[in-house]
Structure 1
Amino acid sequence: MTERNLEGRVAVVTGAARNIGREIALRLASEGAAIVVNTLSSVGEAEGVAEEIRSAGGKATVVQGDVSSEEGAAAIVSGALDAFGRIDCLVNNAAVRRETPFAELSFQEWREVLSIILDGAFLMSKAAQPALSKSDNAAIINIGGMSAHTGAANRAHVVTAKTGLVGLTRALAHDLASDGITVNCVVPGMIGTVRGRSAAAEPSHHAVHNPLVGRRGKPSEIAALVEFLASPDARYITGQTIHANGGVFMP
């Protein structure tokens, strides 16, 4: 029986209570990583993810915290270190994906969306960097968005934030290379997920896209790509934006 790819590693997954974040947590756990399941408010669902991991023989803990504040990011990292003593992988998945016409978009909503998606990735990476630099297999994986590359109506805040993640990925790949930390961005296409009450039931920009493979993607397919980028086999990959979209968009 071969050793699993992430045996003995620790991964922090933000926004891990449901959908893609949940599947990433489960996939990394299946490869041996201990998982820090982060959520801001969906504590019950996050506990369910952690219990699913523990029931399968893995290790997991829930750390509630706000990625959009310095204090919150520091608390999440501190909770991970208290629970498991190390961090090898950070997945910046926390996001909100609202649709609001530009004429109705308030500066408060603009800032809220950017603070969670873009500021959150910066703050979490900043807080986790000292711990990641001690790992021999350190990875930061940002979860982007296809609309950042195609554009979309009523999503100025989300498109801007997700586009910023691409730039942050490239910049951090340079800045953190000397610490042995790879930094990549995974861009999901049209994925079948359960959306919260603050988001449209189906993003309007999906109506103009048709995946060549003839179906929506599964959260587990995004999780598989994240797991590869976190693994020892991906140490030569950094600064990349990698699309998983069934052929609907080809950069």
Structure 2
Amino acid sequence: MENSLTGKPLYGRTALITGGSRGIGRAIALRFAEAGCAVAINYLHAKDEAEEAVSMITTQGGNAIAVQADVSREGDVQHLVSVSEEALGPIDILVNNAGILHRVPLQDLDLAEWNYTIQVNLTSSFLMSQTVLAGMRRRKWGRLIFLSSIAAQTGGVVGPHYAASKAGMLGLMHSYASLLVKEGITSNAIAPALIDTDMIRKGTAVQPDLIPMGRFGTSDEIAQAALFLATTEYVTGQTINLNGGWYPS
């Protein structure tokens, strides 16, 4: 519900966005800040980009910090949440966006690549969610948002390791939704197709004509869906498919 004093629907809330320095994560951070939310922007290597995003928010009167952490590691996750909450307040909204995309030919896919992809894309979402959920459950309010992929539903174009990691996020999302439905906490996912980000441009050789609509999606379109999930109270256990008409089979 929109705050009547500020006209901003997320006024007084705090969000933590993993992988928030670039692309989809940055777009979500900026959109949430516009809606009145304090934002913790997590990054691993892109320090300059993360600090730039923070500056974009604070110069507009918002509240944001950048925190370095490898969210596939439990100790880093605990540090990330602790620093974020100390600076901004309890985490109300978690966006599990951090991930990797390594296209590997099927015959070259090995256990090391499989384990690494699962750890970064799926285990990180579990670690982050488990760490913030205790506070959400005490306060009886929370939003979990998972950035999955159309690959979870179709197999995609990257490989089994990536598709499985993103499908696992949907199972994690559904379980949290079922377990927390009566506690004021919603759990939902967004499953984009090909979004015009550095990850897509560098990680695959795909072209926009693969999408029925004839173009890549934009990070801002994903951010709009994330804002909807952060502000709605009656949607949980759902996957929003933003795929330009590339419907899951």
Q: 2:44 matched to which residue of 1? A: 40
Q: 1:245 matched to which residue of 2? A: 243
1:95 matches 2:99: yes
1:50 matches 2:54: yes
Q: 2:25 matched to which residue of 1? A: 21
Q: 1:226 matched to which residue of 2? A: 226
**8 Å contact kept, 1:101–1:153:** no
User: Could you tell me how far 1:202 is from its partner in structure 2?
Assistant: 5.7
Identity over aligned pairs, percent: 37
Gaps of 5+ in 1: none
Alignment partners' CA distance in 1, 2:155 and 2:28 = 26
User: Could you tell me how far 1:125 is from its partner in structure 2?
Assistant: 0.2
Distance 1:250 1:147, change over 3 A: closer
**8 Å contact kept, 1:182–1:239:** yes
Q: 2:212 matched to which residue of 1? A: 211
**8 Å contact kept, 1:87–1:135:** no
Q: 1:86 matched to which residue of 2? A: 90
Alignment partners' CA distance in 2, 1:238 and 1:137 = 13
**8 Å contact kept, 2:102–2:203:** no
User: Could you tell me how far 1:205 is from its partner in structure 2?
Assistant: 5.5
**8 Å contact kept, 2:97–2:146:** yes
**8 Å contact kept, 2:154–2:248:** no
Q: Deviations over 1:157-209 (max 9, x none)?
A: 110000101111100101222332100000112211123xxx76362465772
The one of 123, 130, 155 equivalent to 1:126 is: 130
Alignment partners' CA distance in 1, 2:240 and 2:158 = 25
Q: Deviations over 1:1-42 (max 9, x none)?
A: 862010010000000010000000000000000000001121
User: Could you tell me how far 1:108 is from its partner in structure 2?
Assistant: 1.6
Alignment partners' CA distance in 2, 1:151 and 1:208 = 18
User: Could you tell me how far 1:225 is from its partner in structure 2?
Assistant: 0.5
The one of 161, 164, 170 equivalent to 1:160 is: 164
Q: Deviations over 1:35-83 (max 9, x none)?
A: 0000112111111111111111100001111111111111111111111
1:68 matches 2:72: yes
Amino acid at match of 1:235: E
Distance 1:27 1:63, change over 3 A: same
1:147-186 equivalence runs, <5 A: 147-186=151-190
Amino acid at match of 2:42: N
**8 Å contact kept, 2:209–2:215:** no
RMSD over aligned Cα atoms: 1.8
User: Could you tell me how far 1:84 is from its partner in structure 2?
Assistant: 1.4
Distance 1:87 1:74, change over 3 A: same
**8 Å contact kept, 2:150–2:248:** no
Alignment partners' CA distance in 2, 1:93 and 1:126 = 15
TM-score, normalization: structure 2? 0.92
TM-score, normalization: structure 1? 0.91
**8 Å contact kept, 2:208–2:216:** no
